[in-house]
Amino acid sequence: MAQIWIVLFMPIAVLVHMHSAQGQGVTLKRVMFILGDSLVDPGNNNYIASIARANFAPNGIDFPGGAATGRFCNGRTVADVLSQKFGLPFLPAYLDPRSRGPAILGGINYASAASGILDSTGENYIARLSMNKQIQYFQNTQQQFIQQLGPAAAKQVFSDAIYFFVIGSNDYINNYLQPISRTARQYTPKQYETLLVNEYSRQLTVMYNLGARKMAVFNVGPLGCIPSQLANQRSADGRCITYINDYVQGFNAALRRQLNVLTARLPGSTFVYGDAYSLVMDRVTNPAQYGFVNVNTGCCGIGAYSGQLPCITGVTPCSARNRYFFWDPFHPTDAVNAQLGELFYSGDPSIVSPINIQQLGAMP
């Protein structure tokens, strides 16, 4: 399942303060599209033969209405928080049968638990929507917009919309770091980093060619700190696994450099880089400063650090959910997502650069 980071988490389309787009009597003010993994999956995996699912209690215990929608959280994802900051409803899952017609005109969420940049990522969870598959589904959505708004208005919608990308965590957790990993045998860590960044760059370029211009890309968080890795690596003291975080930091640095290249190469594009890694590490290192008392054990899970099995029906979650950083072996709690969402929305360039999400949404 996609793990913490943004893609946090964790990497993803965002929302947008758009120019009005007129078409067949419909006026659109804000549209956003989200591509990514379980950090922002609203329930797409409910509709495929995947074992990476969260559409059962106690997941969603703090979500509006107490519903287990398929989100891997006790409440909202970062994408949900950003939607609220813009005064928008939560975006519907692309695979939800109700996501048709006027219901999609505010945008769509394509994110899928266990998905990655590489098509092979997440094979251990059987079905998932890879980034390439999500882009194919976005193309389907474009045709639906054209049918409802007409070609000219639809083109303006896609140009004005904000796109969130939260992806990359699983390419390590559910690919390179797996016990029997083909990619780990085939590539050194640096070669793998290059493979991922090159493929991600190609995918972002495809989205640009499909009309995307305002793209927020979130880096991968410190995967060496999540409960599943602490359990897998048999951490004796609950401290982060250094070599895993080193892999992630190499990827993040290469991704940031590549976004600068894309900005220069693709006329009219704006790429925003969200530094989830630094925000998460700061909270793991200084938990009391941010209201947390536990930053290495899942609130809901089984085994060492509650990190060996996920939050499943019958497992009783912790009572102080707003004091825990992790909800389950991989994902942050609603309390964490609320903090990160606020910072990505209005933070300074040390957090989100060259501009924040609020400023991205205000761009003409």
Q: Do 304 and 231 contact (CB within 8 A), yes or no? A: yes
Q: Which residue has the tokens 């080193």?
A: 246
Residue 130, SS3 per DSSP: coil
Catalytic (active site) residue 41: no
Closest by CA to 128, choosing from 74, 71, 72, 170, is 170
Catalytic hit among 62, 80, 275, 328: 328
Residue with tokens 């989205």: 207
228: annotated active-site residue: no
Q: Say whether 38 is catalytic.
A: yes
Alpha carbon separation from 7 to 57, 201, 216, 323 (Å, rounded): 25, 14, 10, 23
Distance (Å, whole) CA 193 – CA 111: 22
Q: What is the CA radius of gyration of the chain?
A: 19
The rounded Cα 111 to chain-centroid distance in angstroms is 7
Cα(307)–Cα(297) distance, integer angstroms: 7
Which residue in 17, 37, 38, 201 is the catalytic one? Answer: 38
Which one from 115, 169, 331, 334 is the annotated catalytic residue?
Answer: 331
Phi then psi for residue 201, to 5 deg, are -60, -40
Closest CA to 35 of 165, 142, 128: 165
- Find the largest Cα–Cα distance for the chain: 63
Q: How many CA atoms lie within 13 A of 30 on its CB side?
A: 19
- Going by their DSSP bridges, the two strands 21-23 and 26-28 should be labelled as antiparallel
Terminus-to-terminus CA distance in the chain, angstroms? 36
- Are 169 and 36 in contact by the 8 Å Cβ rule? The answer is no
Q: What is the DSSP annotation of 88-103? A: -PPPPBTTSTT--GGG
Amino acid at 124: N
List the catalytic residues. Answer: 38, 328, 331
